[in-house]
């Protein structure tokens, strides 16, 4: 184990039978969620667009996307730090490129991936800053992030007790402040964000699509600077669908942005 990884007290996916047990749980209990997620992804990506998934786990999202005709073995690649998760993914689909990838330091060139997705990974890390910078660095056109958020202004960081369910391993289960997260995206994007869509799956579960390039059919005027974050958000057709407390707190985005700038 590298010294860098020794410090990662939270990275317990490869310990004992944790990955196998978690994968078994996902298969048994989370198929409806994957179905809902992929229906949402189909609104944002077209078949054949090409998708790189960071934190692909055991490959179940790939399977669901392929079932829906969104990707195939050629147009998709998945990356994960957990060798046990990668083994499960490769075992299911040997013809797909499932590769070792560290979200803190992704071994890919800037803007080298047209579309990047990241599903329920960030809440299991101690924080999202460096990982999100990395995702935005490599994504050229669109970045889709699903994570746990709440409308308030403080991140809720929890490191759970070791769970019997996951072979006595502990994980982060954080719920991040959505206004702060959005402010972070706008303040740290390496290229202008031209649109941002939000989808509320329910409870703390949200999907966010960040567009770095306008879709061809859209004639909407686009913002070009951090200061236009509020305009971009409120002009987005999806903005009305997010819970009211979140819409209200987004007004705080301006002050956060100016502090971060
Ligand atoms: C809750 S799982 C989600 C897996 C998959 N996206 C899904 O929804 O089925 C979180 C995944 O993030 C991966 N992960 C944790 N730390 C990572 C890191 N530093 N780099 C890449 N992946 C990481 C874990 O190994 C695990 O597979």
Range of the domain at 241: 3-260
CA of 46 to the centre of ligand 1 (A): 24
Is the model's pLDDT at 2 over the cut of 90? no
d(CA 32, CA 150): 22
Cβ 81 under 6 angstroms from ligand 1 = yes
Cβ 146 under 6 angstroms from ligand 1 = no
pLDDT bin (cut points 50, 70, 90) of residue 84 is very high
Decide if 19 contacts 85 (C-beta within 8 A).
yes
DSSP 75-134: TEEEEES-HHHHHHHHHH-TTSEEEE--TTS--S-TT-EEEEEEES-GGGSS-SHHHHHH
Structural domain count, the chain: 1
Cβ 18 under 6 angstroms from ligand 1 = no
Atom number of ligand 1 nearest to Cα 118: 6
Q: Which residues pair with 97 in a beta bridge?
A: 77
Atom number of ligand 1 nearest to Cα 26: 9
Q: Which residues pair with 169 in a beta bridge?
A: 163
Q: pLDDT by residue (tens digit) across 33-55?
A: 999 999 999 999 999 899 999 99
Cβ 38 under 6 angstroms from ligand 1 = no
Its sign, for the CA torsion 60, 64, 66, 70, is negative
Q: pLDDT by residue (tens digit) across 243-253?
A: 677 766 666 66
Is the model's pLDDT at 225 over the cut of 60? no
Cβ 123 under 6 angstroms from ligand 1 = no
Which residue has its alpha carbon closest to ligand 1 atom 26? 57
Q: What is the dihedral of CA 35, 36, 38, 42, to 10 degrees?
A: 130
Pairing of strands 195-202, 205-211: antiparallel
pLDDT at 222: 44
pLDDT at 105: 98
d(CA 58, CA 164): 20
Cβ 236 under 6 angstroms from ligand 1 = no
Q: What is the CATH number of the domain that holds 234?
A: 3.40.50.150
Tokens for 171, please give them: 């994980």
Atom number of ligand 1 nearest to Cα 82: 25
User: HSE (CB half, 13 Å, CA atoms) of 198?
Assistant: 26
**Interior/surface letters 210-233, b for 16+ CB within 10 angstroms, e for the rest:** bbbeeeeeeeeebbeebebbbebb
Q: Give the position of tokens 């004639």.
A: 219
CA of 57 to the centre of ligand 1 (A): 5
pLDDT bin (cut points 50, 70, 90) of residue 229 is low
pLDDT bin (cut points 50, 70, 90) of residue 256 is low
Cβ 56 under 6 angstroms from ligand 1 = yes
Q: Give the position of tokens 């890390």.
A: 125
Cβ 250 under 6 angstroms from ligand 1 = no
CA of 53 to the centre of ligand 1 (A): 10
Kindly state the average pLDDT of the residues 196-223: 78
Cβ 10 under 6 angstroms from ligand 1 = no
């Amino acid at each position: 184990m590298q010294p860098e990884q020794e410090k990662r007290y939270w990275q317990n996916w490869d310990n004992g039978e944790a990955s196998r047990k978690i994968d078994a749980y996902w298969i048994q209990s989370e198929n409806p969620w994957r179905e809902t997620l992929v229906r949402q992804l189909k609104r944002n990506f077209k078949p054949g667009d090409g998708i790189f998934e960071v934190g692909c786990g055991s490959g179940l999202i790939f399977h669901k996307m392929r079932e829906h005709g969104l990707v195939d073995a050629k147009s998709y690649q998945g990356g994960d730090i957990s060798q046990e998760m990668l083994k499960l993914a490769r075992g299911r689909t040997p013809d797909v490129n499932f590769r070792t990838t560290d979200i803190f330091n992704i071994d890919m060139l800037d803007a080298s991936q047209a579309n990047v997705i990241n599903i329920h990974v960030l809440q299991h890390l101690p924080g999202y800053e460096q990982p999100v910078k990395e995702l935005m660095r490599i994504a050229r056109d669109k970045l889709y992030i699903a994570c746990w958020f709440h409308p308030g202004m403080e991140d809720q960081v929890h490191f759970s007790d070791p769970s019997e369910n996951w072979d006595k391993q502990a994980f982060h289960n954080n719920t991040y402040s959505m206004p702060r997260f959005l402010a972070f995206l706008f303040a740290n994007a390496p290229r202008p964000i031209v649109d941002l869509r939000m989808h509320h799956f329910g409870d703390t579960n949200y999907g966010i699509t960040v567009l770095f390039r306008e879709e061809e059919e859209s004639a909407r005027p686009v913002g070009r600077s951090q200061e236009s974050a509020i305009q971009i958000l409120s002009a987005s057709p999806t903005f009305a669908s997010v819970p009211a407390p979140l819409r209200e707190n987004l007004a705080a985005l301006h002050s956060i942005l100016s502090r971060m700038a």
